Amino acid sequence: MNTLVLSESPAPMPRKKLPIGIQTLREILEDGFYYVDKTGIAIQLIATGKYYFLSRPRRFGKSLFLDTLKELFEGNVALFKGLAAEKQWDWSQKYPVIRISFTGGVLRNRVELDQRIMEMMQDSQQTLGVCCQHKSVSGQFGELIALTHKKTQQRVVVLIDEYDKPILDNIEDRAAATEMREGLKNLYSVLKGADEHLKFVFLTGVSKFSKVSLFSGLNNLKDMTLDARYSAICGYTEHDVDTVFAPELFDLDRDEIRSWYNGYNWLGTPVYNPHDLLFCFDERRCRSFWFESGTPSFLIKLLTERNNFIPDLGTFRADSDLLSTFDVDNIPVEALMFQAGYLTIERQEMQGQDTLYRMGYPNREVIISLHNSLLDTLVQSKRVRIENRTRLYDILDAHNLSAMQELFTAFFDSIPTDWYRNNPIANYEGYYAGVFYSYFAALGLNITVEDSSNKGRLDMAVRFQKRILLFEFKVVELVPEGRALAQLKAKNYAAKYRSSGCAITLIGVEFSRDARNIVAFEAEEL
User: Where are the extended beta strands (E) located within 32-103?
Assistant: 51-55, 97-101
Q: What is the DSSP letter of 13?
A: P
Instruction: State the chain's mean pLDDT as an integer.
Output: 90
For domain 379-525, give the fold.
Answer: Trna Endonuclease; Chain: A, domain 1 (3.40.1350)
Q: Give the mean model confidence (pLDDT) for residues 334-343.
A: 92
Give pLDDT, residue 414.
78
Which run of H or E residues covers position 277?
helix 274-283
The order of strands in the sheet holding 198-205 is 97-101, 156-161, 198-205, 51-55, 222-223
CATH 3.40.50 maps onto the chain at 37-56+93-230
Backbone torsions φ then ψ of 453, nearest 5 degrees: -145, 180
CB neighbours of residue 100 within 10 Å: 21
32-79 per-position pLDDT tens digit: 999 999 999 999 999 999 999 999 999 999 999 999 999 999 999 999
380-393 per-position pLDDT tens digit: 778 888 899 999 99
Give pLDDT, residue 216.
67
233-247 per-position pLDDT tens digit: 999 999 999 999 999
Q: Is the pLDDT of residue 424 over 80?
A: no
For residue 6, what pLDDT band results from cuts at 50, 70 and 90?
Answer: very low
Left if phi > 0, otherwise alpha if psi is -120 to 50, otherwise beta: which for 399? left
Q: How far apart are CA 508 and CA 84, in angstroms?
A: 59
Closest-CA residue to 129 (of 145, 112, 148, 114): 148
112-160 per-position pLDDT tens digit: 999 999 999 999 999 999 999 999 999 999 999 999 999 999 999 999 9
Q: Is the pLDDT of residue 10 over 60?
A: no
Give pLDDT, residue 3.
53
For residue 307, what pLDDT band results from cuts at 50, 70 and 90?
Answer: low
Q: Give the mean model confidence (pLDDT) for residues 169-195.
A: 94
**For the residues of 122-161, what is the DSSP string, one character each?**
HHHHHHHT------SHHHHHHHHHHHHHHHHSSPEEEEEE
Q: Give the mean model confidence (pLDDT) for residues 445-451.
A: 84
For residue 257, what pLDDT band results from cuts at 50, 70 and 90?
Answer: very high
Give pLDDT, residue 435.
86
Share of the chain above pLDDT 90, in %: 69
Check residues 217 and 376 and name the one with the higher pLDDT: 376
Query: What is the pTM for the complete model shown?
Result: 0.90
CATH 3.40.1350 maps onto the chain at 379-525
Which run of H or E residues covers position 482?
none
Give pLDDT, residue 7.
42
For residue 351, what pLDDT band results from cuts at 50, 70 and 90?
Answer: confident
Looking only at the bridges linking them, the beta strands covering 354-360 and 317-318 are antiparallel
What is the dihedral sign for C-alpha 268, 272, 274, 278? negative
Q: Is the pLDDT of residue 224 over 50?
A: yes
For domain 37-56+93-230, give the fold.
Answer: Rossmann fold (3.40.50)
Closest-CA residue to 458 (of 418, 504, 393): 504
CB neighbours of residue 63 within 10 Å: 19
283-296 per-position pLDDT tens digit: 999 999 999 888 67
Give pLDDT, residue 518.
92
The percent of the chain in helix, strand and coil, each rounded to the nearest 5, is 45, 20, 35
Q: How far apart are CA 249 and CA 9, in angstroms?
A: 10
Tell me the three-class secondary structure of 83-115, residue by residue: CHHHHCCCCCCCCCEEEEECCCCCCCCHHHHHH
Sequence length of the chain is: 526
Q: Is the pLDDT of residue 231 over 70?
A: yes
Q: How far apart are CA 495 and CA 489, in angstroms?
A: 10
Q: What is the DSSP letter of 189?
A: T
Q: Is the pLDDT of residue 428 over 60?
A: no
Give pLDDT, residue 217.
66
What is the dihedral sign for C-alpha 414, 306, 318, 354? positive
Check residues 400 and 217 and name the one with the higher pLDDT: 400
Give pLDDT, residue 420.
61
